[in-house]
Structure formats: C-alpha cells, structure tokens
Amino acid sequence: MRKPLPPVTRSARRPAALIGGLAALALVAGCGSDGTAPAAGGAEDGAEPISVAAAFYPLEYVVSRVGGDDVEVETLTEPGAEPHDLELSVRQTAAVADADLVVYIAGFQPAVDQVVEQQAADTALDVPFERREIGEGHDHGDDGDDHGHDDDHAHEGEDHGHDDDHSHEGEDHGHDDDHAHEGEKDEDHGHDEEQDEAHDHDHDHGGEDPHLWLDPLAMAAAAQAYADRLGDIAPDRADDFQANADELIAELEDLDAAYTEGLASCERDEVVVSHDAFGYLSRYGLEFESIAGISPDAEPSPARLAELADLIRDTGVTTVFTETLASPALAETLATELDIETAVLDPIEGLTDDTADEDYLSLMEANLAALQQANGCA
C-alpha cells in the first residue's frame, strides 16, 4: 500500500505557456518605442521577463517553478510529443538562439545539442548532476540510511549553501552496455550479435544515461543551478529565485525520502519496463530490465524477449510496465504471453491529454505507488 508523502507546500504556479512564434522573437528583441519591452508574463514591477527555452517538460517545470512570474518559458518539445527524436523548426531554432537562458540535458536530444553548440553555447545550462552509465544500477550500495549516494547539490565545485551530497557512490562504470544479468556470460544466451545490434542506439548517448530527471535529487540540483543563473541574469531578483528554488528543493527532497522509505521493503526487486528510462531509480533498491534500450522506438531482439520471459518466470514479476508516449504493444504482448498484468510507469518526458492536470511531482508520486503495487512493497 502506498505510503503518503510528508506534507509539503506546493507552489500554485503552473509551467508557463508556450510563447507564440512572433511574440517570442519580439520579446527577446524588445518592442517598446523607447527600446524596452513592455511587461509580460506577470513580471513584477514592470520588469521584462527573462526568456527561457526549455528542451522538454521536466526542465520546463523546474525552471518555471524557480523563475515564477519573472520568466517566460518556451518548451521545445510539444505536449504529447516523444522528445528523443525532436526536430526543431526554424522558429524554435531562433528562439533558442535569442533566449536569455536555455535549459537542456546534453546527449538526450541531438537537435537541441546541435543548436546549443552552434548558437547558444554561452546561454545554455546542462543539469549539473553525475550521469550513470547505461545498464548500470545493480550495485545498490546497501549502507543503511545512506542510499548509495551523497546528497550534494554543489555545481562543479561551487558551494550554494546546500551541502547535500547527491553524487552516487559505489557505481561501477566498467560495464557492458547490454541487459545481461550480473555474472552471466554472453555466450550463455547465444545472442551476442543480436544484443549488440539491438542496443547500438545506446552508444549514440556516449554510454551515459540521459534520463536523470527521474532522480528527484537531479532535479534539485537543476533547481539550484537555475536559481544561480537566473540570479546572474537579473541580480535584483536573485533572492526571489533562491527562495523559489529552496521551496522546490525541499519538495524534491521529500519526494526522495518517500521513494527511499516506500521502496525499502519489497517482495521483489526486479521491474520490467518498456524502455531503459528508469535506471536512476535503481538506487532505491530496484533492478530495472527494459524491453527496448535508451530510445523507446528501438526494436528488441527475439533473444532479448526470451531473456525477459525467463526473468519474469524465475523472479515472479507480476507486472510489465508500459508508458505514456510510446507504443505499449510489445509490453502488452509479453505480459499476455506470461499471463501477468500491465501498468503504466510514466517516464515523465512530457505531458499528454490524460496527464494535462498533473505535474512532475504528482507523476513521480504516481510512479512510486505503481512500483509499490507491482513489487509488493510494505
């Protein structure tokens, strides 16, 4: 049964709406006759809002919470769109080039990486959080209350007053980029070549897992980094940005605590998911096995499906998880063949019509409840 989150105070602000085409360009260029832009987006004291381009929803959520009414955010990935293979329009490229701040995750969306490198290198900000290696996560660092990570929000040597070391201890980066279980030999399954071919797309990300927004502490690090950068852009509003960030960071740390407690005692550790998006949650003691690789549209090999079927039978997995923005067909077929359930585990890559009234925090809470249900967590 799901354990309730500790009480938190939620901000009433929702992520800012997408900026219209010409309005976005007019905003950054300035449109007043005296060379200043009129107040927009609710910026206080008539100040011009800071223009922000956010690569996709989770980053939009965090920067909107931190910036509040003092930012105008354009999200490059539209609601309901799958963000991995985003292609930017000419207008979106111009918005990135002209934005005061661009928030993105390097290695996740090649089109965004390219325009950042070419036109926004000085204004872009990656999430300052240690990446896990693809396929990593089976070493859980069972250290009592220290859940395999130090709580550190420091950004590349900077100290912002949040001495919460969030680096992940005990991670083994010397792994193979496949889904073989620890200690198993590739030849035991006889699908070396098939597995390599099925997971070639993983190497497009340089061996690092870009789905770090599914770690609440990564989003806390992003919140602090955004507050710092927004404060540099508008020093007179820096205290407001920091206060907003502190509020959000407290909520994210409560979320982290809820995951730690809620997944501390489960009947099963194994979780079968549609694509390899949930590895950052492995530090809570779970082992995630995916049908597809890092990209949800990658086709798994027959050998991979057979391997998962064996895993499900051997470990008593009760649920195969589908997700919101990718086809559930393979997951549903696997579950049907093994006579087990399916449920949704949202990678939170974007909102849909069904989740339009949700936000990052509520979706993460729903994911926790789904994992507890599927894994028999006390």
Segment 244-270, tens digit of pLDDT? 999 999 999 999 999 999 999 999 999
List of E strands, 178-318: 270-273, 287-290
pLDDT score of 43 = 59
pLDDT at 194 over 50: no
Inter-axis angle of helices 57-67 and 216-233, nearest 10? 50
Q: For residue 311, which of 202, 179, 196, 195 has the smallest C-alpha distance?
A: 179
Strand partners of residue 321? 273, 343
Within 10 Å of residue 12's Cβ, how many Cβ atoms? 5
Tokens (6 digits) for 28: 């950054």
Across 137-162, average pLDDT: 39
Residue spans of the domains in the chain: they are 268-375
Percent of the chain with pLDDT over 70: 69
Q: What CA–CA distance (Å, rounded) separates 304 from 292?
A: 9
Q: Do 152 and 166 form a contact (C-beta atoms < 8 A)?
A: yes
Global model pTM greater than 0.75? no
Describe the chain by its helix, strand, coil percentages, rounded to 5: 40, 10, 50
Query: Is the pLDDT score of 237 beyond 70?
Result: yes
CB environment 282-317: b (16+ within 10 A), e (fewer): bbbbbbbbbbbbbbbebebbebbeebbeebbeeeeb
Amino acid letter, residue 110? P
pLDDT in tens, 297-354: 778 889 999 999 999 999 999 999 999 888 899 999 999 999 999 999 999 999 999 9
Answer with the residue of higher pLDDT: 165 or 232: 232
Instruction: Measure the CA–CA gap between 23 and 94, rounded to whole angstroms.
Output: 12
Fold (CATH) for 268-375: Rossmann fold (3.40.50)
Distances in whole angstroms, Cα of residue 90 to Cα of each of 32, 77, 87, 104, 206: 25, 14, 10, 18, 27
| pLDDT confidence tier of residue 44, bands split at 50, 70 and 90 | low
Confidence of residue 47 (pLDDT cuts 50, 70, 90): confident
pLDDT at 181 over 70: no
Kindly report, residue by residue over 72-108, the tens digit of the pLDDT. 999 999 999 999 989 999 999 999 999 999 999 999 9
Percent of the chain with pLDDT over 90: 63
Cβ neighbours, 10 Å, residue 372: 18
Residue with tokens 């900077």: 158
